Amino acid sequence: MAEPLLRIEGLAKHFGGVIASDDISLDVAAGELHAIIGPNGAGKTTLIGELAGEIAPDAGRVLFAGQDITRLATPRRSALGLARSFQITSLFPEFTALDNVALAVQAHAGHSFRFWAPARSAVELREPARAALARVGLAARADTVVSRLSHGEHRQLELAMSLATKPRLLLLDEPMAGLGPEESARMVKLLRELKQEVTILLIEHDMEAVFALADRITVLVYGRVIASGDPASIRANAEVRQAYLGEQEAVTHV
C-alpha cells in the first residue's frame, strides 16, 4: 500500500481529568473520503484541533505526506495543503463572499506585504475565488456581504474558502451542522463531487450523509478508536451499534 496522505500515530490529549484523545492512530489514504463519527464528547473536535495545529497533543505524531507536522503552526500546515472548515461558521462577516474566498486565495499566492495595488482588482485573486464560489454553487452571491447570507450559504462559503487554498486534504468539521434536509442533500451531492478531486477527512453527525459518502469510517468513543473500516463493516459492528448507532437510530425514528 502506498504511503497514506495523513497518518496519525498514538495521539493523546487530556484536559485535566478528561481524556479527549486516547492513543488515536489512523491513516487516511490519498483519494479517499474518511469519516470520523462518534457520540457527543467523543473527542472529534479535539482531534480536528490537533490536526489543524490549534491544540498541541500530549503525545503522538501527525504525519502529512510523510512529513512530521505535530508541532507545526497552523498557517504552515495550511501552506502544505491542509485545509479545514469550522463546525461553527468562521468567516469574515463584514466582507463580501467573494472577498472572503479571495483572502483564502491570497494566503496561498505569495506574501501579502503588498501595500499599494488594490487587492480587489487583482484578477489572479478574484478569478480563482469566483471559480471556488461557483464550485459550491454560490456564484450568484459573490458580491453579497457575508452577514446577509443564510446559514446554509455560510456552510457553502466555508467550503469554498477551504477549496480556494488548493488543499491536498480537507478537514471538514460537521459541514452539515444546522442544515435543513434540502440543504443537506445539496451538500452531500457537492461533497460526492469533491471527493473525486481531493482527499477528505469528514467529521459529521449526520449518519445518512456519512454512510452515503465515506469510503472508510473510524468510530471514536471517549477519545478512543473503537472501530475502523468500510461502511458495511461499521454498520455490522456490534460495539459500534451499541455505542452509537443504536442511540442515533432511536433518535431518528421518533
Partner 1 sequence: MTATLTPRNAVVAALLVLLALLPVYAALTGNTFALSLFTRIVIFAIAAVSLNLVMGFGGMVSFGHAVYLGIGGYVVGILAKEGIGSGFVQWPLALVVSGVFALAVGALSLRTRGVYFIMITLAFAQMAFYVASGLERYGGDDGLTIYKRSTFAGALDLSNKTLFYYLCLVLLLAVIWLVRRLVDSRFGLVIQGVRSNERRMRAIGFSTFRYKLVCFVISGVLCGLAGVLLANHTDFVSPAIMQWTRSGDLIVMAVLGGMGTVMGPVIGAVTLLVLEEALSRVTEYWPIILGPLILLVVLYARGGIDGLLTRLNRG
How many other CB atoms sit within 10 Å of the CB of residue 221?
20
Residue selected from 52, 63, 131, 245 as contacting partner 1 according to rule CB under 8 A:
52
Output the nine-digit C-alpha cell for 54.
Answer: 490549534
Min dist CB 79 to partner 1, Å, is 5
Nearest residue (CB) to partner 1, 107 versus 139: 107
Output the nine-digit C-alpha cell for 115.
Answer: 501595500
Minimal CA–CA distance to 5: which of 209, 135, 143, 167?
Answer: 167
Angstrom distances, CA of residue 9 to CA of 61, 168, 180: 5, 20, 36
Q: Strand 33-37: give its sheet, edge to edge.
A: 82-85, 169-173, 199-203, 33-37, 216-221, 224-229
Stretch that binds partner 1, among 29-37, 106-114, 203-211, 237-245 (CB under 8 A): 106-114
Contact set for partner 1, span 177-236 (CB under 8 A): none
Backbone angles phi and psi of 172, in degrees to 5: -110, 115
Residue selected from 20, 33, 42, 86 as contacting partner 1 according to rule CB under 8 A:
86
Decide if residue 8 touches partner 1 (CB under 8 A): no
Stretch that binds partner 1, among 109-117, 127-135, 195-203, 211-219 (CB under 8 A): 109-117
Residue selected from 165, 218, 228, 237 as contacting partner 1 according to rule CB under 8 A:
165
Decide if residue 30 touches partner 1 (CB under 8 A): no
Stretch that binds partner 1, among 57-65, 157-165, 216-224, 240-248 (CB under 8 A): 157-165
Backbone angles phi and psi of 107, in degrees to 5: -60, -25
User: With contact defined as beta carbons under 8 Å apart, do 58 and 18 qualify?
Assistant: no
Decide if residue 149 touches partner 1 (CB under 8 A): no
Decide if residue 64 touches partner 1 (CB under 8 A): no
Whole-angstrom Cα distance, residue 97 to residue 148?
10
Residue selected from 5, 28, 47, 103 as contacting partner 1 according to rule CB under 8 A:
103
Nearest residue (CB) to partner 1, 76 versus 148: 76
Stretch that binds partner 1, among 57-65, 95-103, 200-208, 217-225 (CB under 8 A): 95-103
Contact set for partner 1, span 119-148 (CB under 8 A): 119-120, 122, 125
Helix (H, G, I), strand (E, B) or coil at 142: coil
Q: Which amino acid is at 81?
A: G
Decide if residue 59 touches partner 1 (CB under 8 A): no
Stretch that binds partner 1, among 26-34, 107-115, 197-205, 212-220 (CB under 8 A): 107-115
Whole-angstrom Cα distance, residue 5 to residue 49?
18
Residues forming the site for partner 1 (CB under 8 A): 52, 54, 73-76, 78-79, 83-84, 86, 90-95, 99, 102-104, 106-108, 112-120, 122, 125, 161-162, 164-165
